[in-house]
Structures are given as C-alpha cells and as structure tokens.
Structure 1
Amino acid sequence: MKVIDLTHTIKEGMPVFPGTEPPKLDAASTFEKDGFRETLLTMYSHTGTHMDAPAHVRKNGITLDKFGADKFVGKAIVIDCNDLSEGDTIDISYINKYKGIIEDTEFVLFKTGWDRYWDTEKYYGKFPVISEEVADYLISSNKKGIGLDVISIEAIESEDLPMHHKVLKNNLVIIENLCNLDQIGSDLFTFCALPLKFINSDGASVRAVAILD
C-alpha cells in the first residue's frame, strides 16, 4: 500500500482566496513557559486544501458535520487535463476519455498541474475550470464529489458562482487546492478527504490522501 499526500501545508502567508485573511499560527503555550506546546490557529473555514459543503452557497444546504464519514472516502480517478492553458475549460471530452472506468468511481479529481504555481501570483489567475456539461455528468452519475488542483471550480472573478450552486445543490462536495495529483497515475485508487468536524460547517480544511494498492 502506498499513501500519497494531496494536501498543502497550512502556514502563515500561504495562498488564500482573494479577500480572505491568511491563517495565523500563534504559540499559545511553549516548552519554556508551560512545559508543553500548543498553537492557536486562526483561519477561515476554506483555507488551504479544503472541502465546500452545500451550505457554502445555499442557505438551507447541508453542512459537512451532517454527512456521515463515508461521504468523504471512496474510489477515485484522476483525469489528466495537463494540456490545458490559462482560462481553458475542462469539457466533457476529458470525461469521455475515461469511459468504462469513470463509472466505477465516487470521486473525480482533475489534474491541471496548476499546483505548480502555488505561492505565486499566477495561482490566482485564469486557471482551467469545469464546464457545465462536466458538472451535469458528475451530478447525473451520483458521484460523492469533485476535486481539483486549483483554487475554485470556476473563474475567480465569478460573482454568482453558478457551478458551485449547480454541484452543491445536488449534495456533492467540492475539494479545492489539491496537490501532487501527478503522482497517482490513471488507475482507480482510494481517496480520503476528511474535513475538520465542527458544527454547522460550510466548509473545512481537509487532509486529503490517495491510497494506492
């Protein structure tokens, strides 16, 4: 068994969605003063590699703490979209390339390679986004969720968030800011993205991993 970490490390000064305050990590207790260490973390619920709940954009949407833990684990496939450039769209042709295997998955992860721009201004730019047809496929095929190695499933300047509404109203979850998808390959694997469990969570940071047999 091989376990691949798909998670960016939370630290001060890390990339966050424009308008969001970056996390703060303060020494609350120290060896010198207290004989042990504790860290006070102050951060938004959508910091780093994180999961969006339906409640993120929908007033009566379900929160992450209301899902069973099995919602966050399942068979997954990585869709290779590395050929896309700035502002391109992940269209249904990328799904069609994996017909026959994608039907057996519960999570679909899109590898654009954009995680290589993490900690640069380009990460916030015109990254690849999913098309409405792709969103419709994921919904109609009853997937548990969708993941990407970019900061959002739609353009960063989007104000109405139509793709978020479309996906989340059908109780899929969205995992954004994944990394290391290039280490997985094209075979099925077990995907785990367990969010921090806090009450009424509209989203939460996750420790996402791929487990390869």
Structure 2
Amino acid sequence: MFRDLSRPIETGMPTYPGDPDVTLSPDATHEADGYATSELRTGTHAGTHVDAPRHTLPEGETIDAIGAGQFAFDARLVDLRPLEPREPIRPRALPDSNALDADALDAAADLLVLRTGWAAHWGTDRYRDHPYLTPAAAKRCRELGVGVGLDTFGPDPTPTGSAAETGPVRDDEPDGTPANADEPDGTPAHDVLLNDSLPIVENLCALDGLPTRFRLYAFPLRLRGGDGSPVRAVAEWER
C-alpha cells in the first residue's frame, strides 16, 4: 500500500516564521496561450521537506551532493501522544537499540517518524507551539544512527511568544519545574543530527493508521548548493 504523507504546495500555506511566503500562480493559460504553465515561488523549507546538513552547518553537505538512495528510508513510527504545547521530547520517549534491531522480515530502521499529533494544528497559530527534541534526545538518535521525521515544523522549538510562557508541569520534572523552563535557543537538535548527516524530514501529515514499520520515500529536488528541498513524502507497506 502507498500513502502520501506530504502537504500540498499552495499559495498562502503555512511557513516557518521568517521564511518566504509560497505563491503558485498561472503563467501561461490554455485560453491565452494554448497551454498551461505556472510560476512557483517558495523557500527551500516550505511544506513537507528534507533538510541538508548545509541548512544549519556552514560547511555541511548540500542537498544535491546527497545520493538519491539516501532518501529511501526504513522507517519506524513512534507514537508520542499525548503531548502538551512546547513539551520537550526526552531520550526515554524514544526506542532503545533493541527495539530497532532487524528481525527476519524487516531491515533495521534508519528513520524514526515521531507522531506528536501536531499535524492536526496545521494552518493555526498553535502549530508553532509544537513539541521538540531535547539536545539529549537528538544525541540518542545519533547514537542509534537514525534520523527523524516529524509532523511539526522541526525538531527544535519554533520561535513564538509562547516560548516565554510557563509550560505544563510534568510529574517527572524535579520540584515542579515547567517542562519548557530550559527550552533551548537556536538549532541544537538540527546540529546534532545534521553533523552526522542524519536525515530530518519535516511537516509530515496523515500518520494516522500507519503500521509501526514501513518504507518512506522523500526525494528532494536536485537544487545545486541547496540547504533543503520540498519533497513528495510517500509511505509504502505490505497489507
């Protein structure tokens, strides 16, 4: 079976704060020209996309330098729900190495698809207040040799006014510390993963009902010197 896990590219779609707006508009038309073409204006990180190491690392590999086969993943779905806005995802929420070992039928996973539930908030302000990976969780992924796919803007917190607000108090936090009291600045989770050329696929959707293990294809445009690219992300699995 196949399922499209990508967001449609369309005018006015949500973008990461500060990124270019997306417009898709007619250029030539059947009525005027006898054929149709369109003009697309977009950033490289609009909609469902993959990051290249060059995204956050000045000397990192560019998207066109990465072999096409590296965008075909053996994925493992990790359902993290329920999560609170801007809740940190810590290492203990991720599978250990035993859970990622290959069995008789499956290849070892090389991508964790983290289902936070935030796809339901696409197109709203709440989408910016997504959960995020702590640097320690990103290091756990690096130790396991796996990249991440997310139904959010990315593995790091997205800047928003909510970042300064008091977050939910968790039972596992010492002394009633708010969950986002130590919310990191910048892109530490990106940096940990991309420094080891581990893939990051962002803004996935339609994760409901997926099996625990599946193949994920997320082929980027071959943008010369690119720091990332929109993709058509497609899951494949056996019935």
Q: Which TM-score band (shorter chain)? A: over 0.9
Q: Tell me how far apart the structure 2 counterparts of residues 39 and 206 of structure 1 sit (CA, whole Å).
A: 18
Alignment of 1:85-164 (within 5 A): 85-96=84-95, 100-103=98-101, 104-125=108-129, 127-143=130-146, 145-157=147-159, 159-164=185-190
Shifted more, 66-75 versus 100-109: the winner is 100-109
Provide the secondary structure at the position in 1 that maps to 2:94: helix
Give, in whole Å, the separation in 2 of the partners of 1:38 and 1:132: 44
Equivalent residue, structure 2, for 1:39? 38
Q: Give the structure 1 partner of residue 221 of structure 2.
A: 196
Deviation for aligned residue 1:142: 2.0
What letter matches 2:58 in structure 1?
A: K
The residue that corresponds to 1:211 in the other structure is 236
Report if the CA contact (8 A) 1:139-1:170 is conserved.
Answer: yes
- Amino acid of the structure 2 residue aligned with 1:37: A
TM superposition shift of 1:159: 4.6
* Length, aligned pairs only: 208
The Cα of 1:207 is off from its aligned counterpart by: 0.6
Paired residue secondary structure (1:40): strand
List alignment gaps of at least 5 residues for structure 1: none
Deviation at 1:28, TM superposition (A): 1.1
Identity of aligned residues (%): 32
RMSD: 1.4
Map of 1:170 onto structure 2: 196
**Deviation for aligned residue 1:113:** 0.9
What residue is the counterpart of 2:49 in the other structure?
50
Please give the per-residue CA displacement for 1:55-80, whole angstroms capped at 9, x wherever unaligned. 00111100111011111002111100
Distance across 2 between alignment mates of 1:207 and 1:26: 20
Task: Give the Cα separation in 1 of the matches to 2:209 and 2:99.
Answer: 19
Bigger radius of gyration among the two: 2
Q: After TM superposition, which residue ranges in structure 1, 4 or more long, deviate above 3 angstroms?
A: 98-101
In structure 1, C-alpha distance between the alignment counterparts of 2:56 and 2:199, rounded to whole Å: 12
TM-score (norm 1): 0.92
Please state how far the C-alpha of 1:138 moved relative to its aligned partner. 1.6
Residue aligned with 2:92, SS: helix
Shift of 1:200: 0.6
Gap runs ≥5 in structure 2? 102-107, 160-183
Classify the secondary structure of the residue corresponding to 1:207: strand
Partners of 2:7 and 2:59 in 1: how far apart?
30
Does the Cα contact within 8 Å between 2:220 and 2:230 map onto a contact in 1?
A: yes
| Residue identity opposite 1:60 in structure 2 | E
AA paired with 2:126? K
Question: 2:20 matched to 1:17?
Answer: no
Supply the distance in 1 between the matched residues of 2:221 and 2:158 (Cα, whole angstroms). Answer: 25
CA offsets, 1:181-209, max 9 Å, x none?
Answer: 123132x1111111111101101001101
